[in-house]
Amino acid sequence: MREIRLRRFLNRLLFHQPPSYRSTRAAATFVALKPSNSAANVLSMYTVARFLQIVGLTIPPFAIIAQLMEPGISLGQMLGFLVAAMAFFGIGYLMQHYSGGGTE
């Protein structure tokens, strides 16, 4: 029974399936922003969001390389880099979904 629940959870997580109607938890909903006079605002917001996600994904490898170099960085600095990467990626993720470009 536990394996079935884990498999369902991983399927929803990996394939962005909405939770089933039997779920007792409230699902988070994203409200897409209404475009103003032109679609350029939404497109540029989507582009900035994807750029922030890419930046968030590239910071950890550079932090690992910096830690492996001879003088190295401290664990506190490494943690700071990882928190910054999570912040960049999270902000980009939220911006992408609020711009209406999320996969659902």
User: Which residues, 6+ apart, have CB-to-CB distance to 42 below 8 Å?
Assistant: 33, 35, 99, 100, 101
Overall pTM > 0.85: no
pLDDT of res. 97: 87
Contact 54, 91 (CB under 8 A): no
Over 90: is that where the pLDDT of 65 sits? yes
> Binning pLDDT at 50, 70 and 90, where does residue 98 land?
confident
Secondary structure (3-state) at 34: coil
